[in-house]
A and B are shown apart, each in its own frame.
Chain A
Amino acid sequence: MHPAPSVIVFTVFSGLGFGLLAFLGLGIPNVGPWASFAFFFIAFACAVGGLLASTFHLGHPERAIKAFSQWRSSWLSREGCLAVAALLVMGLYAFLVIFFDTRIGLLGYIGAALSIATIYATSMIYAQLKTVPRWNTALTPVYFLVLSIGGGALLAGQVHLAGLMLALAGAVQVITWMKGDTRFEERGHTLETATGLGFMGKVRLFEGPHTSANYLMKEMVHVVGRKHSQKLRVIALVFMSLVPSIILLALPAGHFLALVAVVSHIAGTIASRWLFFAEAEHAVGLYYDKR
């Protein structure tokens, strides 16, 4: 799949933002109005910024409001509805905390639950696609949730929890890659099933339907960037999980080191998310002799 920058920014930052909002909704960290303002500002900037980035790849962003209508069947619609609900509830909660120094526990819990549900819905946009076997697994929501909760804990200053969650995220990431590498073959999608001609013999693309690329190939048959995937996997794992975990669990706490951990985690997560898209093989690639 084509690793569009807008979608990478969307999933990475909205994941972090809603992860942090979940912690803030649970009253973590329990600090005064001014410090809370800073936390809420970061959370809303990440969540809203990510959501806005997601509109950049739309053909008609001005019609985005229509995307709230089909929550009965569509994970993308559910994600939009949950995101807006989470932002509204947490917005009210934050308003009361910052300006009236009043915490309404129940409101915060609802906001936290909606934030987690938003992250889950985001992950299901990808996990639901049977056409992309690497994504079409329960590991996809686990990967998104663990990263968001870990990143949220990191931004919420929960040193030990963040350290453990990010170490766990690293483990989940490794399992996702290992399982994902064989998933397409396991599903049994081949050019023989794609054409139905397997009963006659081995099928091979003889001549493509056109000489240059088309939308399908640009969007779903992204093979260019996979050359360095092994190196990128190491980079993603080290910066997303290893470096922040070591800083949080083994080194003395401090603002500078925390900043290093945050920057490293975001950089690593961007690399991981780039691979999430670039390594995902769409079944339609079979028809083009590419995957």
Chain B
Amino acid sequence: MTTLPTQTQKKLGLVIDLDTCVGCHACVVSCKGWNTENYGAPLSDKDAYGAEPMGTFLNRVHAFEVKPEVGPAQTVHFPKSCLHCEDAPCVTVCPTGASYKRVEDGIVLVNESDCIGCGLCAWSCPYGARELDQVEGVMKKCTLCVDRIYNENLPEIDREPSCVRTCPANARHFGDFADPDSNVSRLTAERGGMDLMAEMGTKPVNKYLPPRPKDEMGEIDILAPLLAPVAADPKGFLGWLDKALEKL
């Protein structure tokens, strides 16, 4: 409980494709919905219809602008939730053992009946993946929908995290990183999946696929030279108009 397992049998986690994410926030909504109605304390909202609404979310979508040295800037939608780190600082700082990483699948969870709500685990997380619920006073975080992925009462197609199931752009993938042939391992290898804030040494399990390079606008078409450009030297009515306006 108190310390991190040296190795986990599986390394369940997510691949998030920054190339295909359209920033629709559907994952945010479905996560909030599922996790409010199921595992643990509901995700509360305070002043939900007031001037300063504030609520607990396990997944949030930022939008960043990336400006290269040359060329136009690009928008990158950026979903962020718990990365289920191999070297999770949030587990070892916990004074009560409420925060733990499972040996069988590597999921980082909070035992809410042991949580004293000190907030130190949230302080230790570089990614902002943990939020203290303001009504329940316990720490909430992504459970990788532990109550879905093993749930035999659900149709097999639904036995994946709610955010993955709901993503209309197929930008989220769930699988076992310990298996080199799994969908997530292959995606990571093929697309250069990366760690967030690798210098923190947390060894995140979740990987982010960088946006693919944009197409270059080089030679448009081999037929382009054959297409006459729009008249540079207008004749007829347009020619008269051009000259008349010129004289004014």
Contact = CB atoms under 8 A, between A and B. Distances in A.
Contact of A188 (B54, B117, B199): B199
A258 B88 CA distance: 48
Contacts of B78: 195
A200 B62 CA distance: 17
A205 interface: yes
A205 B95 CA distance: 35
B194 interface: yes
Contact of B67 (A63, A204, A208, A211): A204
Nearest to A187: B199
Given A73-B92, A195-B64, A205-B62, A63 B116 contact: yes
A284 B128 contact: yes
B66 A131 contact: no
B210 A283 contact: no
A268 B149 CA distance: 54
A167 to B, nearest CB: 32
Given A128-B93, A132-B123, A208-B62, A197 B134 contact: no
A8 B22 CA distance: 44
| Number of chain B interface residues as a range | 35 or more
Contact of B123 (A197, A201, A282): A282
Contacts of B66: 197, 200-204
A197 B52 contact: no
A64 interface: yes
B218 interface: no
B122 A216 contact: yes
Interface residues of A, number: 59
Contacts of B5: none
Contacts of A287: 62, 80, 127-128
Contacts of B139: 59
Interface string B119-139: 110111111100111101111
A138 interface: no
B54 A212 contact: yes
B174 interface: no
B119 A63 contact: no
Contact of B118 (A57, A202, A203, A214): A57
Interface string B59-85: 011111111110001111010100000
A132 B89 CA distance: 13
Given A206-B65, A206-B75, A207-B62, A283 B95 contact: no
B33 interface: no
Given A60-B115, A63-B96, A203 B65 contact: yes
A70 interface: yes
Given A60-B115, A196-B195, A196-B196, A76 B122 contact: no
Nearest to B52: A212
B198 A193 contact: yes
Contact of B126 (A125, A197, A284): A284
Interface of B: 1-3, 18, 28, 52-57, 60-69, 73-76, 78, 80, 89, 91-98, 114-120, 122-128, 131-134, 136-139, 194-201, 208, 210-211
Interface of A: 1, 57-61, 63-64, 66-70, 72-77, 80, 125, 128-132, 187-189, 191, 193-197, 199-216, 219-220, 282-284, 287
7 contacts: A187-B199, A193-B199, A194-B126, A197-B64, A215-B56, A219-B123, A284-B125
